[in-house]
Amino acid sequence: MLTTWSWFRDEARELIEDEEEELSRHKRQAQRRNASNENLWVDGVKYVFDPNASQKLKDGFTLAVNAWQKDTCINFTLVQTREEVKGEDYLYVTTDETDPKGCLSHVGKLGGYQPIFLGDGCESFPHAAHEVGHALGMYHTQTRHDRDKYIHLKDDNIEEEYKEQYLKLTEEKNENYGFPYDYGSIMHYGSSVENPWMVPFDANYKTTMGSPFISFIDLFMMNTHYNCTDICDPKTSAQCENGGFPHPRKCDECICPGGYGGALCNQRPQDCADGKTLEASDGWKSLEANIHKTKDDGTYATCTYWITAPDDKKIEIEIESINTKEPTIGCAKGGVEIKANENHTLTGYRCDIERDARFFLDEEEAQYCYFLYYPKFLYY
């Protein structure tokens, strides 16, 4: 993917029909119920695959549960047959015969047999991770009780059968543990750019919504919901920086926001050979970067750059070109992410084509952008 962008230090097409069809596949959810403590999988999550499940479905679901398990204290256990878990709580991973393209899950643990449906087109990691998030207790981000501060819904553009997926929750039913609204949550729907049904008040986030990644806020909220954050002793565990928190499985290391790495979240991630720390100047500079992904295994290659400037300066970044073949909701087929918010725990602005791609970064901290999926080049 070819991406061109420029930055300097200053003193002071419409979405394709297939994409919309893909988005609509996971809009139909099962009836929700409050994910209170009694709906937690306190003893871990056992799951069984339908004997007729495709290998693609199994692979996508396995990637999803591994991702949630890796950075939480929640354990997932594959069981071969339903007979082995008779009388227990478990997920049955299957497809809905009445809706073969449906992606459905209840919110939280129901108790006993609990189906999770991943129909045709829903077998990929993003869809599976989204549905597992529901099963663990997460609602859609766009239904948060405070969502009206962050998005505007255009009801006339929402198909009638999907409007329930945008109904705002009450504050009593929706516990967000004080975490900020994250446009890049795996639980946030995307929207068309040309004929949107959902518009972010921060326009730079319009292509971030519908993200294919579990965000840092998703992980922090899930760890809080399951009391994983209580496992590590604050006196002896890692003293995380930049908003990170101690890893519940390795208390001497941290789970870090995107763009930060190292044991304490105070280093640039070593995610590629070309990543580096750059210093802005009074004139424009250009960067050409290439990131390769040689195996289509449902994961993304990333490359992180930090851009720094003196405290009394601000940075301007301009993306000149990105050679993605087509725009996608959530920049799912590759793009650039710019951290331009004061709160670096939030997902940044994502671009996958040259769409309003100019940003001003005026914080004291180092800024960064990182690149997602398949070969791409960058100019700065």
Q: What are phi and psi of 139, to 5 degrees?
A: -90, 170
Q: What does the CA dihedral 241, 247, 252, 257 come to, rounded to 10 degrees?
A: -20
pLDDT score at 372: 45
Q: Identify the pLDDT of residue 4.
A: 34
- β-sheet bridge partners, residue 8: 316
Q: Going from the first residue of the chain to its last (380 residues), give the mean pLDDT of each consecutive group of 10, the final group possibly shorter.
A: 35 32 39 57 97 94 97 98 96 88 92 95 92 97 96 89 89 94 96 85 91 95 97 97 97 96 94 82 81 68 84 79 70 80 89 61 52 36
Do the Cβ atoms of 70 and 136 come closer than 8 Å?
A: no
What pLDDT does 216 receive? 97
Question: 344 a known binding residue?
Answer: no
Q: Where are the domains of the chain?
A: 27-230, 277-372
Sheet holding 302-308, edge to edge: 277-279, 302-308, 367-372, 335-338, 349-351
- How far is 292 from 310, CA to CA, in rounded Å? 32
Asked if 27-230 and 277-372 have one fold, the answer is: no
Residue 98 identity (one-letter amino acid): T
Is 134 within any annotated ligand binding site? yes
| pLDDT of amino acid 322 | 72
To 5 degrees, how large is the angle CA 363–CA 364–CA 366? 90
> Known catalytic residues?
131
Which residue shows structure tokens 């082995």? 84
**CATH of the domain spanning 277-372, picked from 3.30.1380.20, 3.40.50.720, 2.60.120.290, 3.30.420.40:** 2.60.120.290
Does domain 27-230 fall into CATH 1.10.260.40?
no
Instruction: Check the annotation: does 140 bind a ligand.
Output: yes
**What pTM was computed for the model?**
0.86
Read off the pLDDT of residues 150-199 as tens digits, 9 standing for 90 and up: 999 998 888 888 888 899 999 999 999 999 999 999 999 998 877 888 99
